[in-house]
Amino acid sequence: MGTVRVRFAPSPTGHLHVGGARTALFNWLLCRKLGGQFILRIEDTDVSRNIAGVEEKLLDSLGWLGIQWDEGPDIGGDCGPYRQSERRDRYEDAANTLLSSGNAYYAFDTTEELDLLRRKAAAAKTTFRYPRPEHPPTLAEVDRARAEGRPVVVRFKAPDKAVTIRDEILGEISFPSEQLDDFVIVKSSGWPTYHLAVVVDDADMEISHVLRAQEHLMNTPRHVLLQNALSYPVPKFAHVPLVLNINGSKMSKRDRHKVVRKAVRSLMEQKRWTRQDIASILSRDDDAFERWFEKKADIELDKTQLLKLADAAHVTIPEIDVHDFRVSGYLPEALVNFIALIGWSPGDDREKMTLEEMTEAFSLDRISKTAGRFDREKLLAMNTDWSQGLPPDRLLLGFRDFTRASGSTLGSLDDETALHLLEACRGFRTFMDVEEKAGVLFVADDQVQYDPGAVRKVLEKGEGRGYEILQELLSELDLDEWSADSLQEFLGDYCKKIGLKLKDVAQPVRVAVAGRAVSPAIFDTLVILGKDKTMNRIRRCLARKDAS
């Protein structure tokens, strides 16, 4: 087929799913390995499901992962347009060709009539196949049906023969004719179905290889039949295995709803939440929550409402989309490295690889036939490794991207402070860990919240010995030089003088300035805070004790 040309064709109905990202990555690696072109196409013919602004988010997520396209809706190319909504005339031409050649025909069954046929097939315990009329409707009959308000569609006349395809991953697969009925290629709205649109697009865009998820495997015989009927070249097919959760369930956006629904149900069973509490959290009081709660429809709660419930219930929503991982503080190098290894191997023991190294090692014969598991603990470990190995300037760029994506208040830090903070938190798993560990150092002093457990264990224990240490330190901590070295020297001398270990002094100070027993190393914590804020927070802590 000459030059290798592959495509990734998402629909603008939501953020880029991590499984879709892996499909895009495999396509990109193949074309880069073979010196081909990677085409980005937007499949937006299902107008009712399209969401404004999502196309830009899809492109942004791909770019964040380092997956760049050679042709696409934003940069053009010789085979455009690259949005299906701008290609309707091409689908109409193809449908007319199939109608003229006798390979397709009009049909105008109502939903009720089709449902009745399906029920009859189910009662007879047979697979439903659309009953092809002996004589296809005439144009006059089609016009009359339209005038009566009946839904007029175009169906492809599937030949009564088996279809055999050669899959580059799964091998030779045959589909018996009994599995192939006369499927719809043009909807009553006039828009093409997925089957017709994708076949026309792949031909027009000269796609040589179609790499897509195994869930599309049953669509492939239909596409081959259409390609043959339209005299289009048949590309090479490769169906990649699915991405599953670690427990073997399908990795779905519904996982978010499952986690939050389980937490909400538990809180209600414990009588800790009522319907009124939930109405207050969601700022709505209707039956939408009830439908969602009874698992009748996930869509009754949008992502913003779901996040509100999750935050109130103190549960973490699992990341599903690429954007989720970006907001959680993962590095693109780590995420793209990790998803490449779900169902593919470079052929040796390597795990940590750059895009360039993956490209060099990539081949279709190293893709597994079976589904891969998304091991979140392994991803965390890989992200930790990448974070520790990146140079400071690249780490800073990643941190800046995280603060923008997540809306973190740490985005206002200057470069010097941000680099100091990242170095002080070395060993973090994600940038979110940095936020959680050190974010309190950058809030106003009067916003510090004290963890009751830390107060009891560190400050009140031993008849308030922690408070005593803070009071004694306050009069001696007014150092002329405020640096890690001077603080280390001072606290070392102080510990020797009173006969305590550093941790026995550092922990009361940490709780006083951070409100909890966790922060960066104590010297880094105090340097980042600065002298004035350190002294002020210690005074506030002591005043809090006196007021209690």
Residue 543 sits in the same domain as residue 450? yes
Tell whether the model's pLDDT for residue 205 goes beyond 80.
yes
Query: Residue 516 in contact with residue 451, Cβ under 8 Å?
Result: yes
Does a cis peptide bond (omega within 30 degrees of 0) precede residue 81? yes
Residue 100 sits in the same domain as residue 207? yes
Domain final position from 240, 266, 295: 240
pLDDT bracket for residue 54 (50, 70, 90) = very high
Query: What is the mean predicted confidence (pLDDT) over 68-84?
Result: 97
Which tokens go with 444? 């106003």
Which tokens go with 315? 């549960």
Three-class DSSP category at 105:
strand
The verdict on whether 262 is a catalytic residue reads no
Task: Look up residue 174 and give its DSSP letter.
Answer: E
Residue 220 sits in the same domain as residue 302? no
Query: What is the mean predicted confidence (pLDDT) over 23-33?
Result: 98
**Residue 2 CA from chain centroid, whole number:** 34
pLDDT of residue 299: 65
Phi, psi of 154 (to 5 degrees): -115, 130
Phi, psi of 8 (to 5 degrees): -125, 130
Task: Look up residue 48 and give its DSSP letter.
Answer: G
Phi, psi of 211 (to 5 degrees): -105, 120
Query: Residue 281 in contact with residue 305, Cβ under 8 Å?
Result: no
- Measured distance CA(412)–CA(417) in Å, rounded: 10
Domain that residue 187 falls in: 87-240
Which tokens go with 219? 């669509």
Identify whether 216 is part of a domain: yes
Identify whether 538 is part of a domain: yes
- 16-30, 288-302, 399-413, 463-477 — which is least confidently predicted? 288-302
Domain final position from 298, 313, 328: 313
Identify whether 457 is part of a domain: yes
pLDDT of residue 49: 86
Residue 299 sits in the same domain as residue 232? no
Identify whether 362 is part of a domain: no
Name the nearest CA neighbour of 95 among 180, 183, 182, 186. Answer: 186
Residue 199 sits in the same domain as residue 259? no
Strand 5-8, strand 37-40: pairing: parallel
Residue 457 sits in the same domain as residue 520? yes
Three-class DSSP category at 193:
coil
pLDDT of residue 545: 86
Identify whether 147 is part of a domain: yes
Identify whether 228 is part of a domain: yes
Residue 153 sits in the same domain as residue 175? yes
Within 13 Å of residue 76, how many CA atoms lie on the same side as its CB? 1
The catalytic residue among 187, 236, 253, 308 is 253
Looking up residue 486, the CATH number of its domain turns out to be 1.10.10.350
pLDDT bracket for residue 143 (50, 70, 90) = very high
- Measured distance CA(500)–CA(276) in Å, rounded: 52
Tell me the residue length of the chain: 548
Task: Look up residue 136 and give its DSSP letter.
Answer: P
Residue 219 sits in the same domain as residue 299? no
109 Cβ neighbours under 8 A, 6+ residues apart: 117, 151
pLDDT of residue 365: 95
- Measured distance CA(7)–CA(216) in Å, rounded: 15
Task: Look up residue 369 and give its DSSP letter.
Answer: S
Domain count, the chain: 3
Span 505-546, pLDDT tens digits: 999 999 999 999 999 999 999 999 999 999 999 999 999 988
Identify whether 120 is part of a domain: yes
Share above pLDDT 70 across residues of the chain, in percent, rounded to a whole number: 99
Identify whether 285 is part of a domain: yes
Span 280-329, pLDDT tens digits: 998 877 788 888 888 876 667 888 889 899 999 999 899 999 999 999 99
Residue 189 sits in the same domain as residue 286? no
Residue 258 sits in the same domain as residue 234? no
Name the nearest CA neighbour of 191 among 296, 86, 292, 264. Answer: 86
Span 382-426, pLDDT tens digits: 999 999 999 999 999 999 999 999 999 999 999 999 999 999 999
Q: What is the mean pLDDT of the chain?
A: 94
Query: Residue 476 in contact with residue 525, Cβ under 8 Å?
Result: no
Tell whether the model's pLDDT for residue 1 goes beyond 60.
no
pLDDT of residue 297: 67
Residue 143 sits in the same domain as residue 278? no
Residue 91 sits in the same domain as residue 226? yes
Domain final position from 297, 313, 329: 313
pLDDT of residue 275: 87
